[in-house]
Amino acid sequence: MPDKRSVAVDFQSRQQDGSIERSVMHGELHRLVTGWVLTCAEPADDSGAGAAMTLIVHERELRLRRRGAFSFEQVFLLNTSVQGFLETPYGPHDVNALTHGMDIHLSESGGVIEWKYDLLMQEQTVGTFEIRLDIREEQAV
């Protein structure tokens, strides 16, 4: 069994206003001794800029690193507020994520990762997000 698999990721983000962003990304799922690493290339936006995402998955913890026009580094721990970092075209910002829900079901062939969190900046909630990643192994043709 290979340590890494090519995967397709159906990304869904629901914001507090009810809007839903969806995209399909392609990447790799790596098995670790204590969890998983998911690396993906996000599709280009209207400006033509893409982004790279790395998600390190442990039983009760997610570590997200996103690099692109907006860069974001954040740890998600259930029922815990954790400081992170957001870099925008307007400059860097310290943020905190308070995670309200987390559900992780992964195997070598993929699975589902879901989490819900409030993102705070200067102790003010700037948004509530529900993220769902449906991950499936891509079959060789």
Please give the model's pTM, rounded to 2 decimal places. Answer: 0.89
- Per-residue pLDDT of 10-51, as tens digits, reads 999 998 888 899 999 999 999 999 999 999 998 776 666 778
The architecture in CATH of the region 4-137 reads Beta Barrel (2.40)
pLDDT, tens only, 105-128: 999 889 999 999 999 998 899 999
Q: In the beta sheet, which residues pair with residue 30? A: 4, 37
CA dihedral over 37, 137, 105, 134, signed as positive or negative:
positive
- Ordered by start, the domain boundaries in the chain are 4-137
Half-sphere exposure of 92 (CA within 13 A, CB side): 4
